[in-house]
Structure 1
């Protein structure tokens, strides 16, 4: 990212009480509750084995294969017979052309009009021998779109939902620009882009919904979402006079905005782990993240139900 649901559950254990009988103690048993799949997805994508998910590296290819498997597991259908939306680009500071791969899956709704839900799966790789795993940026967004796709597997949406895992966001929104310039369906069918980038770390338990300065009618819908306890949903970071704090063009939603497609961006403010080797799974705020995914899901449900066509 360029800017400087599952319901919340904690890991619990059921422990059998040790009872004394004739001087002997029965064996105690420990059975942890299941870890939500959304946390598993983030942990796997942010593992050292993914090597920071820099495009055109073995770790990046491994992440891509994992996501292809997960797209199939959550019941997303390919577009035109394939999930891959390919393009080429030159990484920053290089004249070499390398391949990029966006992953696209569809949940068909009652209407052909579309809401495109996005996050990016690339990160910055390694620097000075250190792996930058990008748990918040943006394994958290990818985990969230997979959770949403899983939910809508069992709840047919009104509109067709298109889920896209973008590549090469860290190279300058390259994957989303390639997607918007070569859409696999008519641009006129897209009602809205909902972009998720960095949604799992906040000391203030605060998630931002950005973009409503440009599209105020979206705010009226999102404000209908009932929030969990100790969770704050704020609006902002989308006004031109805010300079660098204006996030309008700072993640993949910017590519849609520049193509005159409305967007809603969910994200947190910068934190000490941003683009640092400390952006690890163990440093995400799990309770906040699960609440954020819940809120994003509810927002998409409201938008799906009430968006004007």
Structure 2
């Protein structure tokens, strides 16, 4: 499905001026979030573990401190599923969901990031068995919290749902649960922005995957990203390219299945992917802050441009 959006360079020039004046995310808070969420204390945040529950409480408190709205009791959407590998029933999984109403449109942008990781596993050569998941995906969760803070202070045109999702590492379970039990008709969603692994890349590259299906987004994002760091690249979304195709590799896949347009911001796999060494010490703080600010700029412009659909 291709999204038709009226687009003009003069409009983007206006938005560029707006963005130049726009408040960026809170760098200090962003780093505090990722440091805590990827700490040994949370033991890798596997679904239904004590560390996962601690992460849930942290996110919940952040949403409450911002006095955000929600469509779910106490911000929590509970769900259950059966693990594909262990056949265990996970009946206390939970998404944490907040909402900011739009100023001009009743339609929605849904911003997602999964807060779970794989927990404790086989120890590495250094004897470390905690898979901290700093990049995967404490980074996206931290960014989600700071985007929520920004849009609380700068009301968007569309309503924005901020969904911290559980169970991604076990088959996109949180995203599937959200789509299945969404509080509105799914055709009210104009865009899903998903963030998963955005805190490091040796080449200074961040990908916006999904524009193969929604090419008008590429035109817009290229203009927004021009002259910014990190370098915004496109791809990893063409059919029949095997593992190089990220279309169903993270939570946006559940939205794509329901024909909801998406942009997935992420980096290519690195040597610490799904290893204990994916720790806070190995993120690139400058890259992470710049990537989050770039995603913020992209979101601001997409929010404006989607009004013209």
Q: Which runs of 5 or more residues in structure 2 are unaligned?
A: 1-21, 124-128
Shift of 1:230: 5.0
Give, in whole Å, the separation in 2 of the partners of 1:139 and 1:42: 5
Residues 1-50 of structure 1: CA deviation (Å, up to 9, x unaligned): xxxx9859xxxxxxxxxxxxxxxxxxxxxxxxx96100100000001111
Map of 1:205 onto structure 2: 204
Q: Which runs of 5 or more residues in structure 1 are unaligned?
A: 9-33
Give, in whole Å, the separation in 2 of the partners of 1:279 and 1:109: 36
Give, in whole Å, the separation in 2 of the partners of 1:227 and 1:51: 39
3-state secondary structure, aligned to 2:41: helix
Shift of 1:141: 0.2
TM-score between the two structures when normalised by the length of structure 2: 0.87
Map of 1:39 onto structure 2: 31
Map of 2:120 onto structure 1: 126
Give, in whole Å, the separation in 2 of the partners of 1:189 and 1:141: 24
Match of 2:100 among 100, 103, 107: 107
Map of 1:183 onto structure 2: 182
The answer to whether the aligner puts 1:286 opposite 2:285 as a matched pair is yes
Give, in whole Å, the separation in 1 of the partners of 2:278 and 2:48: 21
Map of 1:162 onto structure 2: 161
Residues 113-137 of structure 1: CA deviation (Å, up to 9, x unaligned): 0000000000000003500000000
3-state secondary structure, aligned to 1:37: helix
Aligned length: 280
Are 1:53 and 1:125, in contact at CA under 8 Å, matched by a contact in 2? yes
3-state secondary structure, aligned to 1:224: helix
TM-score between the two structures when normalised by the length of structure 1: 0.87
Shift of 1:153: 1.1
Task: Output the aligned Cα RMSD.
Answer: 1.7
Report which of the two structures shows the higher radius of gyration computed on alpha carbons: 1
Map of 1:96 onto structure 2: 88
Are 1:228 and 1:291, in contact at CA under 8 Å, matched by a contact in 2? no
Shift of 1:74: 2.9
Residues 153-195 of structure 1: CA deviation (Å, up to 9, x unaligned): 1111100000000100000101101111111122121001000
Shift of 1:76: 2.1
- Cα distance change on mapping 1:68 and 1:135 into 2, 3 Å: same
Give, in whole Å, the separation in 1 of the partners of 2:102 and 2:178: 21
